[in-house]
Structure 1
Amino acid sequence: MAQIRERTVLFADLRGSTAIFESLGNAEATALVTQTVSLIGQAVGECHGHLIKTLGDGLMAVFDSPRDGVRSAVRMHELLERVVARGKLQGGSPSLRALRMQVALARGEVVEMNGDCFGDAVNVAARLLDHAGDNETLITAEVLLGLPGMQKAKFRSLDRIAVRGRSEPVHVHVLDQPAQSGDMAATQFGEVVHAVEPDGIRLQWMELDRVFDIDNMPIVLGRSVQATYCITDGRVSRSHARIDWHGGSFSVTDLSYNGTFVRFGLDGEIVSLKRGSCTLHGSGVIGLGSPPIDASSPVVRFEVLHFADTEPQTMGSLRCRL
């Protein structure tokens, strides 16, 4: 018999499992991925949730309260970190040490029938995974509304994001991860100094030349017509990358399977992002799906702007269209 109830729906998905199959073979990889999914699934019961089903390298669960759902997501990340750390200590394969996870939660009425759940909240939570970066937890505004103040303070808004299958954008929030040994951009890509916070960012791909200010964040770059910045190239994923404003700077996060590549300046080193992020500064190019070394590749030029200091430098013969 079908029942309609208000539920917080959680989807979790492991990233990097394909590489494990390639390096370990089907039998060993299947056992490892199954064990890992089973381990992170323990967080559901620990936080008073109900595991609906496992999905190969992921799972779906429901919770009565948003608080328990978010607690479960945090616990899942902790459990996966233990698996990865243990793999490093024991000399596990590089693919095991590269495992990452995305979690997404939505809340609303769901139809519970024959041990499964259906409804808009289920669809939204599942599709939010497309917009999550490595080890990120995304939640909808409905989930945030049900959290106590201490938990709410740990999230920041990504504003409204177009979600596949939804006519209206969804207001999404991301769980801030604690900073590790300094700014990621400073440790990986050289020291980045922000004497004055930027005012906007300019993006140019072919004739699509636009400027976005910080109130327009986030910007989703992708092939989907619902993407903020639509790039109609078959090598680009529907939601390929996301540009955020946080902590006084712009950052780009890869959301794709083929990767995102950033090169600063005219001939700087190419930074490869595989479900990772980096801070954007100055100017350069973003390669979507392939490194920006082939003239035919889908490449977006970017320029971080300081309106008060100077006029943006030209990046071509086209005039900027706001």
Structure 2
Amino acid sequence: MTDLRDRTVLFADLRGSTGLYEALGNAAASSAITQAISQVGESVTEAGGLVIKTLGDGLMAAFDTPRDGVRAAQRMQDQIERLVLRGQQQGQPAMLALRLQIALARGEVVEVGGDCFGDAVNVAARLIDHAGDSETLITAEVLTGLHHTLKARFRSLDRIPVRGRAEPVHVYRMDLAHSQTGDAATQFGEPMASTEPDGIRLVWRDLDRVFDLAALPIVLGRSVQATYCITDARVSRSHARIDWQGSSFSLTDLSYNGTYVRFGPSGELLSLKRGSCTLHGAGAIGLGGPPGDDQSPTVHFEILRFADTVPQVLHHGAPKTRS
């Protein structure tokens, strides 16, 4: 029987399982992942939703209301956070790599034989590619159906190009209940100075632009709709995203080929595979390969404090003063 209904569609994807198999072995890792997906599924039913199907290390679910879908997403993230903490307490540091990505879209779907089809399904399935670790993304249609107290938990990421869709989708990100800024600074280098920055400068070839905080988020990608468009076939349409996280800039990889960061001329090279790091000082971002690699475009960045007017050189050539 075919049924047309307005539904909120959720996709969830558990990342970090590959490293878990390597660290714990097949049996222990499979048990941990099965437990994680089971808890994610329980969050769906507890919120009044229906698990449509499981997809490897993730699942697809449907809900009658946006509120139920968002409530399930909150529970899922909390469950995975507790699972990771428990693994750490039991002496399993590999569990720290587990992260959940969630995407929700709203619209009319066709329900056939226990499965769902339609634009909302396609958008949610594609939107999860844009989610970073522990992130929950929703469309404007989902946000509209939320109570104002829940709406306040979401921040606009503006319109983002979604694969398979001619028009970009207005996307919102749920703020984390617990700030992870400190962890990111410890893992990815020294934290930024206590004085908050005013903007960020990006340089790729002759494309030299300064963005203040009001311009964020910044999507780096090949799409002409990207905030910082890099016309290179080796770059994904939406390759990486720069956000403002409380008091610092955060870079999140959205690609399949990865994003790489090097702080300073000879600092440590960081590899972001759907992960994030805090940007500080100046350095280089490699899209699809390490900075300086001839096979991949390199974007030079500098964190700016507009009161500071000391010229900086971000690439070969004459010094450029800050805007």
- Quickly name the TM-score band, shorter chain normalised: 0.7 to 0.9
Cα distance in 1 between the residues matched to 2:45 and 2:85? 23
CA RMSD across the alignment: 2.9
Cα distance in 2 between the residues matched to 1:295 and 1:157? 35
Structure 1 position 3, deviation (Å): 1.3
1:89-112 Cα offsets, whole Å, 9 max, x none, are 333362x33111100111111111
Gaps of 5+ in 1: none
Cα distance in 2 between the residues matched to 1:182 and 1:222? 25
Residue 261 of structure 1 aligns to a residue whose secondary structure is strand
Cα distance in 1 between the residues matched to 2:241 and 2:131? 9
Partner of 1:52: 52
1:104-158 Cα offsets, whole Å, 9 max, x none, are 1111111111111111111111111111111111111111111112211111111
Is the 2:7–2:63 Cα contact (8 Å) retained in structure 1?
yes
Residue 7 of structure 2 aligns to a residue whose secondary structure is strand
What TM-score, normalized by structure 2, do the two folds share?
0.85
Gaps of 5+ in 2: none
Structure 1 position 257, deviation (Å): 4.8
Partner of 1:122: 121
Q: Does 1:38 align with 2:72?
A: no
Partner of 1:140: 139
Amino acid at match of 1:275: R
Amino acid at match of 1:145: T
**Pair 182,166 (structure 1): closer, same or farther in 2 beyond 3 Å:** closer
Cα distance in 2 between the residues matched to 1:154 and 1:18? 31
Partner of 2:274: 275
1:201-240 Cα offsets, whole Å, 9 max, x none, are 3322334444434443322223556544335253x44433
Query: Identity, % of aligned pairs?
Result: 64
Cα distance in 2 between the residues matched to 1:159 and 1:83? 32
Partner of 2:84: 84
Cα distance in 2 between the residues matched to 1:20 and 1:191? 28
Deviates more, 1:306-315 or 1:65-74: 306-315
Amino acid at match of 1:300: V
Is the 1:130–1:239 Cα contact (8 Å) retained in structure 2?
no
Structure 1 position 187, deviation (Å): 4.1
Q: Does 1:155 align with 2:132?
A: no
Partner of 2:4: 4
**Pair 116,312 (structure 1): closer, same or farther in 2 beyond 3 Å:** farther
Partner of 1:19: 19
Amino acid at match of 1:177: L
1:14-67 Cα offsets, whole Å, 9 max, x none, are 111223344455565445433321221000110000111100110000111111
What TM-score, normalized by structure 1, do the two folds share?
0.86
Cα distance in 2 between the residues matched to 1:210 and 1:243? 14
Cα distance in 1 between the residues matched to 2:111 and 2:122? 14
Residue 274 of structure 2 aligns to a residue whose secondary structure is coil
How many residues in Structure 1 have an aligned counterpart in Structure 2?
A: 318
Residue 62 of structure 1 aligns to a residue whose secondary structure is strand
Structure 1 position 309, deviation (Å): 4.6
